[in-house]
Amino acid sequence: MVNYFKWGAPHFLVWLWLLPLTALLAWRAVRLRLRAARRFCPVAADSRLGLPPLAERLYLKSALVVLSLGLVVLAAARPQVGLHRERAQRKGADIMLVLDTSLSMMARDMQPNRLAAAKEAALNLINRLPNDRFGVVVFAAQAYVYCPITVDHDAVQMFLDSVDASSAPQPGTALSNAIRVAAEALSQSESKHRALVILSDGEDHVSDTPQVAEKAVRETAVRIEVLGFGSRQGEPIPVTDDQGNVRGLKLDQNGRTVLSKLGEEELRQLATIGRGSYHWAVEGGAVNDLASRLEAMEGAQVGTLIYTEYGERYQWLLGLAVLLLALEAILPERARREGQVE
């Protein structure tokens, strides 16, 4: 264990300027007192009045007061000494959350809707994996790195909270774009242990997604894990206004209500290509099972953290200041002479 020192309230140290001023005033007070004594008894005043011993005692008592004042100021600045300091190797994987924000994710076969359920699942993953770094990619027709890979889980959660259907505003769903963007972001990672976690209902308007996934796995050695959201029977897609009020349901070109179904087969295929696993979010324990798989990934060192706990030490200085003031109070100004009765 190695001790480290810091001030808890360093702004109080500015009051140390009082020390030379107090010392000067105390020295001046002693000089004036001695001068007055010499005027009272001008002839051999030093020997008759015992001024040299008196001066020594007065200077000593003044020094005790000045020193006590200095200790009080230092105590107010709250000196702190490090009690514990250690290096901890933090090991974990780099995980990119690929979040579907297309219109179909607003279907309400999960409460309150698929997108909200996906965000909640993502937050649960982050809380379950404190040693991993996370980033967020949002996608609809286009994909964007919404939050870069970071160890700051609070920042990732803040970004996730702000995700809505307008985060990727182009209509449509292109899962291949999301995989491409996420894999490219992970390729810059120093960690060799990388994973894409796709949170989607599997609706996809492009046909090259499996080929893009194969290329991503081959070039970046990324694992693809999948969480599926939505019902297998299908659910209408609500159309809302700017205030979030439902104005109706999405219709096709023939005026019929569009039903959005879980694209389970497509999502399973992606998980197989990515040497990962598929989980249906409707099933209990799906998020916990996925978190356990990610947790089992052999971690790589992604940072070195230093922990230091500081303990307050002002009590010692304050106690010493009180002790010196007490000593000053009981210290007589004149030394008792031999045979003198007080």
Which 3-state string (H, E, C) describes 57-124?
A: HHHHHHHHHHHHHHHHHHHHCCEEEEEEEEEEEEEECEEEEEEECCHHHHCCCCCCCHHHHHHHHHHH
Q: Does residue 341 fall inside a structural domain?
A: no
Query: Sorting pLDDT into bands at 50, 70 and 90, what band is 296?
Result: confident
Q: Read off the tokens for 60.
A: 């000593």
Question: What's the longest Cα–Cα distance across the chain?
Answer: 125
Q: Read off the tokens for 89.
A: 């190797």
Average pLDDT over residues 314-323: 91
Overall domain count for the chain: 2
Q: Read off the tokens for 141.
A: 């027709």
Query: Sorting pLDDT into bands at 50, 70 and 90, what band is 42?
Result: low
Regarding whether 66 and 158 lie in a shared domain, the answer is: no
Q: Does residue 224 fall inside a structural domain?
A: yes
Quote the pLDDT of residue 332: 82
Regarding whether 122 and 72 lie in a shared domain, the answer is: no
Regarding whether 261 and 123 lie in a shared domain, the answer is: yes
Query: Sorting pLDDT into bands at 50, 70 and 90, what band is 264?
Result: very high
Regarding whether 110 and 206 lie in a shared domain, the answer is: yes
Dihedral sign for Cα 109, 113, 119, 121, please. Answer: negative
Average pLDDT over the chain reads 84
Q: Does residue 172 fall inside a structural domain?
A: yes
Average pLDDT over residues 152-166: 91
Regarding whether 238 and 102 lie in a shared domain, the answer is: yes
Quote the pLDDT of residue 39: 72
Regarding whether 266 and 126 lie in a shared domain, the answer is: yes
Regarding whether 114 and 66 lie in a shared domain, the answer is: no
Quote the pLDDT of residue 299: 54
Domain, as residue range, for 315: 5-83+309-330
Quote the pLDDT of residue 1: 43
- How far is C-alpha 219 from the geometric centre of its chain's CA atoms? 33
Average pLDDT over residues 300-317: 67
Q: Does residue 304 fall inside a structural domain?
A: no
Which residue did the predictor score with more confidence, 96 or 93?
96
Cβ neighbours for 53, distance < 8 A, ≥ 6 positions apart: 334, 335
Regarding whether 127 and 72 lie in a shared domain, the answer is: no
Q: What is the pTM of this model?
A: 0.62
45-54, 101-110, 180-189, 207-216: least confident range: 45-54
pLDDT in tens, 71-89: 999 999 988 886 555 555 5
Helices (runs of H) and strands (runs of E) counted in the chain = 10, 13
DSSP3 helix / strand / coil % (the chain, rounded to 5): 45, 25, 30
Residue 337 has pLDDT above 90, yes or no: no
Taking residue 201's Cβ as centre, other Cβ atoms within 10 Å add up to: 28
Residue 261 to residue 202: CA distance in whole angstroms: 8
Average pLDDT over residues 325-330: 89
Residue 235 has pLDDT above 60, yes or no: yes
Q: Does residue 165 fall inside a structural domain?
A: yes
Q: Which residues lie across from 138 on neighbouring strands?
A: 99, 144
Which residue did the predictor score with more confidence, 306 or 82?
82
Which residue did the predictor score with more confidence, 199 or 85?
199
Taking residue 157's Cβ as centre, other Cβ atoms within 10 Å add up to: 18
Q: Does residue 335 fall inside a structural domain?
A: no
Regarding whether 313 and 294 lie in a shared domain, the answer is: no
237-241, 271-275, 332-336: least confident range: 332-336
Which residue did the predictor score with more confidence, 42 or 163?
163
Regarding whether 179 and 56 lie in a shared domain, the answer is: no
Q: Does residue 342 fall inside a structural domain?
A: no
